[in-house]
Structure 1
Amino acid sequence: MRHRRLALIDMGTNTFHLLIVEMPEARHAQPITLLRTKVGVRLGEGGISQGRIAQAPYERALHALAGFKEEMELHQVTDVRATATSAMRVSQNGPALVQDIFEQTGIRVEVIGGEREAELIAKGVRQAVPLGPEPHLILDIGGGSVEFIIANDSQIFWKQSFEIGAQRLLDRFFPDPSGIFPPEAVAAEQEYLREVLAPLSAAVQQHRPVGLVGASGSFDSLADMQIGRLRREAELPPSSELTLESFRRSYGQLLSLTHEQRTALPGILPMRADMLVVASVLIELVLQLTGITHMRTSAYALKEGLLAEMLAGSAAE
């Protein structure tokens, strides 16, 4: 009998992720991971702030999905779930890209809303980090949107998606990413974020999260900077601690270097060198707003949340 093999695709604004698993036959068994890979697509580059996906990223997206389709055929995938988030959600030509992907690869893409995205991220993070009964603040910094969720191991207390992703912040506050990010740009970004994130401040006051869990590429990069080397997707542990001291050291470096110098730092993907600056300003502000001193990363996010949801659904049937 042929095993059921599932492909989960998460089409983010920066990165497209593919997870291929073999589904278990036994009811409470865990799926077997066959492939975990990602492609830097930068779907929001050159257009997200104008509400369009530019031509070059549009082509990169189609190319990435064609590559994923090859992997899926190679691994004899039987079922596919593909989701797309902020860039596809808000761009005028997002529906055209969904159509082109289907026509060229047969993959049906579901464009999901910010609230649903936040919910799936929380479910994914719980697979990587034992949250326990106390509330934690989960933060996923995408290229288009940023999701904040206050949750424990069983309950979501508050969640909100904000269209303030790293590509948008870069377009708005860092017009010349080849240079150093000046102090006045840091101040302008923080002032803007304080205003936008007023609902977060109120939720933090109410629920008092005890720790921060970062579930995005920016946190992976900061964890790689902490150990001084760039890890492949398959090498990442489900979760690791990110010390406050290491974050502050990395933050200082990122602010004081040019683009060329940032890309030379051990642990940094060139694609993330500039976005990591504006993302780190956001993380620093969140630490100030919350007073949190304990941070963890989660290598699991939306696609693992979708898988957990599907497993829970099949167990309940």
Structure 2
Amino acid sequence: MRLASIDIGSNAIRFQVVTTHEGKTGGTVFKKIDYMRFPLRLGTDVFNAGKILRPTEEKFVKLMRVFATLLDLYEVNDYIACATSAMREASNGKEIVERVYYKDGLRVDIIDGSIEAQMISLALGKYIPMGNVIHIDVGGGSTELNLYRHKTKVASRSFKMGSVRKLNKEERTNMFDIIRHWYEQSSAPYFNREEEVIAIGTGGNINKLFNLSKQKKSEDKITYLSELRKIRAWLEEFTFEERVKKLRLNEDRADVIIPAARIYTNVMDIAGAEKIIVPGVGLKDGVLHYLMKERGYKPNQ
């Protein structure tokens, strides 16, 4: 069976086609056939103008037409296309996804933060350890936080803070205070204070930060708060142009990686987490698991 996921984020849009297979110990294994990341930044329009402007809308519609064609060419059996923070907040978001549906037959669902967090959690699976765990997913327009105790989710919340959404210093401070209060209230009934808190990080920026890390355990996909702080300070020594030319970061990564690093390190500090697992999965992967679960598909169907 062939499935596809389309993740319409605030900083970029990801398209993935896979075949499904049964794993050796059960469960579903996805074999990737195609993957594309297109740097269309919807968040810049929405977080400044409150809507998706016409030039961006036209690019978006063209891109969705390409994806609709690829779904047909790959003979995909089923798919989910989901739009997150930017499309949620755009005053013309519903109008645009309706235009895409009536023009090209591609169905796009605008999902809320709780569904987004649920989808991402499905992709984490085997990466969640026992004990106290905080999952941090930093997107362009929002940050999703999930708390786990012995692999069971006990709390979840979406915050309007992301790598593309511009907040001034006072707004950032207030948002981190809100996160601190939520974490203290939500973790208290479940977390054992005598045990360490382990973070799990998802999102394109933490994947890049992990690759830049000199103090990492590749086999365990682990790096440390101290190392992330060093990388953040090192990145701040370069201008945007230098991060592109000298560090060879993509332009749409070079200007958001520092704000994202700030969120990861501050949230880890709030939780008292000294190490972070970076499994390299994200919403595009969670969508596939969600599709399997919600539609009742079997791996070899």
Aligned to 1:203: 186
User: 1:110: how far off?
Assistant: 1.0
Which residue identity does 1:172 align to in structure 2? L
Structure 2 counterpart SS, 1:77: coil
Residues 190 and 285 in structure 1, CA contact (< 8 A), matched pair in contact too: no
Deviations 1:61-113 (A, max 9, x none): 22322332333233221222111111111111001110122133311011111
Aligned to 1:286: 267
Which residue identity does 2:177 align to in structure 1? E
Residues 136 and 143 in structure 2, CA contact (< 8 A), matched pair in contact too: yes
Unpaired stretches in structure 1, ≥5 consecutive residues: 174-184, 228-236
Which residue identity does 1:262 align to in structure 2? R
Residues 43 and 53 in structure 1, CA contact (< 8 A), matched pair in contact too: yes
Identity %, equivalent residues: 24
Structure-2-length-normalised TM-score? 0.85
User: 1:162: how far off?
Assistant: 1.1
Deviations 1:152-179 (A, max 9, x none): 57421100011222221xx333xxxxxx
**Which whole-Å CA distance do the structure 2 matches of 1:239 and 1:47 have between them?**
38
Residues 239 and 296 in structure 1, CA contact (< 8 A), matched pair in contact too: yes
Residues 222 and 250 in structure 1, CA contact (< 8 A), matched pair in contact too: yes
Aligned to 1:37: 36
Which residue identity does 1:211 align to in structure 2? I
User: What is the aligned length?
Assistant: 289
Residues 149 and 156 in structure 1, CA contact (< 8 A), matched pair in contact too: yes
User: 1:49: how far off?
Assistant: 3.8
Q: Map 1:52-91; keep pairs closer than 5 Å.
A: 52-91=51-90
Higher normalized strand content (fraction of residues): 2
**Which whole-Å CA distance do the structure 1 matches of 2:3 and 2:255 have between them?**
34
Which residue identity does 2:257 align to in structure 1? L
Of 200, 208, 227, the match for 1:213 = 200
User: 1:150: how far off?
Assistant: 0.9
Residues 11 and 43 in structure 2, CA contact (< 8 A), matched pair in contact too: yes
Residue 18, structure 1, aligned to residue 5, structure 2: no
Q: Map 1:1-317; keep pairs closer than 5 Å.
A: 4-24=1-21, 28=27, 30-126=29-125, 129=127, 131-151=128-148, 154-168=151-165, 171-173=166-168, 185=169, 188=170, 190-197=172-179, 198-208=181-191, 210-226=197-213, 240-266=221-247, 268-312=249-293, 313-315=296-298
Residues 9 and 19 in structure 1, CA contact (< 8 A), matched pair in contact too: yes
Q: Which segment is superposed worse, 48-57 or 35-44? A: 48-57
Structure 2 counterpart SS, 1:46: helix
Residues 221 and 268 in structure 1, CA contact (< 8 A), matched pair in contact too: no
Structure-1-length-normalised TM-score? 0.81
Q: Which segment is superposed worse, 81-90 or 32-41? A: 32-41
Residues 22 and 34 in structure 1, CA contact (< 8 A), matched pair in contact too: yes
**Which whole-Å CA distance do the structure 2 matches of 1:239 and 1:148 have between them?**
22
Say what the alpha-carbon RMSD is for the aligned residues. 2.8
**Which whole-Å CA distance do the structure 2 matches of 1:29 and 1:136 have between them?**
24
**Which whole-Å CA distance do the structure 2 matches of 1:108 and 1:265 have between them?**
41
